[in-house]
Each structure stands twice: as structure tokens, then as C-alpha cells.
Amino acid sequence: MNRRSFLLSGLTFGAAAALVKLPLASAANLDRRTGAKATAAGGPIKKVVKTDAEWKRLLTKEQYHVMREKGTEAPYASPLTKAYAKGVYQCVGCSLPLFSSQAKYDSETGWPSFWQPIAKQNVREAVDNDLAETRTEVLCARCDAHLGHVFDDGPKPTGLRYCMNGVALKFVGKG
């Protein structure tokens, strides 16, 4: 083996080893047929698209204001703030599972708070510059409903506080 062959085989081996470690478009979270993101149950997230008129018929005025117009409910207004039964918190607009009661905690902020979503692909994040400070908005990955914001002042193990509007969530208990 000459020096050139040795160097080429070394480069080829190194490139192959590097490619094996790449997450290649997060293939574990994609449906192989459609390329859609997967839900917590493993299936693809199919988008829910409705007109404003349809959302207004489906949601209460307060839910519409929060979820479609990016409003905020009053602190301590939601009964979900102090609810700690076992179960899952779903999106009011499309029933996508968003948070588990196992990740819920009392942040003493007046809104239901969680330290992680039930599945990262079930929520979407966006930059929110509506106030003087830049915040990270949290939206439902299926119907794009505004849910609240995520902050980096939460408890371990994530250090995150998903501060959600209770009117955007519905609780489904484990019976």
C-alpha cells in the first residue's frame, strides 16, 4: 500500500464514520412515506386547518382570543393552574396531546406550567417580539394555536418553564 492509497482509505473511513453519527434530518421523528413529523404515539402529525369562521364556531370568545389572536388569559383564572390529577393536557383546538401531568409543577406564576412537552414534536416554537423583551412562543404543532411561552427559569431536569394558557388546554384524566 502506497502513501496515496493509505491517505485515501483513511479519508474514506473518516467520512463514513462521520456520516453514521449524523441525525440525517431527524429520521426517527419522520414518517417514512410522507416525511411528516411524528406524534407521541409515533404517527405523523396531520395539520388541522380551519377558517376564522370555523374557529369562532368551535372556540369560546376567550379561547379564540388566546389561541388565534395570541392573547393571554388572566393569571390564576384557569382551574388547571392548581389541578394535579394524573392525565394528559391536550390542545383545545385539535386534541393533540401536549403535556403530561407528570411534568406539571406549581411555578407560582398563575398559569399552568410544565417542565417539558409530552413530545417535543407536538409543540412548535417561534420568536415573539410583541413586548419589550423577546420571548419564545409555544404553538400547537397540529393546528398552530397559540398556547403560551417557554422560559429558561424552570426546574430540573430541563430548566424550562412552559407557561401555558389554561383556556388553550383540556385535561383528559387517566381513569
Max CA-CA distance within the chain?
77
| Catalytic site residue from 91, 94, 140, 163 | 163
Cell of 109: 406564576
Task: Name residue 126's beta-bridge partners.
Answer: 137
CB atoms inside a 10 Å sphere around CB 163: 23
Cβ-contact 92, 14 below 8 angstroms: no
CA distance 87 to 90: 10
Nine-digit cell at 14?
473518516
Residue given cell 502513501 in the structure block: 3
Q: Quick one: 93 exposed, middle or buried, by C-beta within 10 A (0-12, 13-18, 19+)?
A: buried
163: annotated active-site residue: yes
- Supply the residues annotated as catalytic: 163
